[in-house]
Amino acid sequence: MRAPLPCLLVAIALSGACAHHVVLDRPPSPGAPVEQRRSWFEEHRLEKAHRGELVVRPRLFGEHPVVARKRATLKNGLAIERVEDLRPLVPDASPTAAAMDVAVEARGRADGFTSAGIAVAAAGVLGGGALVAVDLGVFPGTAVVPTQEAVAPPLIIGGIVTAAVGATVGGVLVAFGTMARDEEDDATTAAFNAFDADLQRALALDATP
């Protein structure tokens, strides 16, 4: 059986919620031998971003599209699909950690607004269509379709208004979700950009000769 269209739209909108999380091993302490810390850093620093990790997103109120980094790969080959999975490796007060917090919060808003917008728009269109169908007598089991003279205009008008309002409100909610997604992308990109330097600081390698 096919899934209803609204369910498919919500699934597409929230597909990022199914991203795979990873658990990383703890880094050596700043007091560990320097060579051990350097070796660990080289294995856990980020690879240079490649095409599959970058997305070009037009901005709702921006003049030009923005290139954002959505995921990353460590030097040891481990794929990072959620930037917050790197949180245990950097200090809590670091720029990377702060950007990760912003990304997670914005993602929650983006998912909430987008799913609500799709649901409201779908409900409005389905509800409006149902009103029109009731007026025209076209539901399954209806044997006779009323003549034009028997059609009650208020139901048709009500159906059109319901669909229009649902689509408009849903569109506004989706727009809020899109803006929140832009915030998530910006914060994720900032976190990935700052990660290597903050990881060095966490391992006390930034001042090591």
Domain limits for position 190: 5-202
In the prediction, which pLDDT does 208 show? 52
- Determine, yes or no, domain membership for 47: yes
Would you place residue 1 in the very low, low, confident or very high pLDDT band (cuts 50, 70, 90)?
very low
Average pLDDT rounded to a whole number, residues 74-80: 94
Taking residue 75's Cβ as centre, other Cβ atoms within 10 Å add up to 13
Domain count, the chain: 1
Would you place residue 58 in the very low, low, confident or very high pLDDT band (cuts 50, 70, 90)?
confident
- Determine, yes or no, domain membership for 209: no
At residue 160, does pLDDT exceed 80? yes
- Determine, yes or no, domain membership for 108: yes
- Determine, yes or no, domain membership for 111: yes
- Determine, yes or no, domain membership for 163: yes
Average pLDDT rounded to a whole number, residues 32-39: 94
The pTM (predicted TM-score) of the whole model is 0.78
Q: Which residues of 160-199 are buried (b: 16+ CB within 10 A; e: fewer)?
A: eebbeebbebbeebbebbbbbbbbbbbbbbbbbebbbebb
Average pLDDT rounded to a whole number, residues 119-130: 93
Cβ neighbours for 31, distance < 8 A, ≥ 6 positions apart: none
At residue 3, does pLDDT exceed 80? no
- Determine, yes or no, domain membership for 173: yes
Tell me what the pLDDT averaged over the chain comes to: 84
Taking residue 47's Cβ as centre, other Cβ atoms within 10 Å add up to 15
C-beta separation of 36 from 42 below 8 A: no
Would you place residue 23 in the very low, low, confident or very high pLDDT band (cuts 50, 70, 90)?
confident
Comparing 77 with 132, which gets the higher pLDDT? 77
Place of tokens 């290597």: 196
- Determine, yes or no, domain membership for 207: no
In percent, the amount of the chain with pLDDT more than 70 equals 82
Task: List, for residues 176-202, the tens digit of each pLDDT value.
Answer: 999 999 999 999 999 999 999 999 999
At residue 60, does pLDDT exceed 50? yes
- Determine, yes or no, domain membership for 164: yes
CA distance 69 to 84: 14
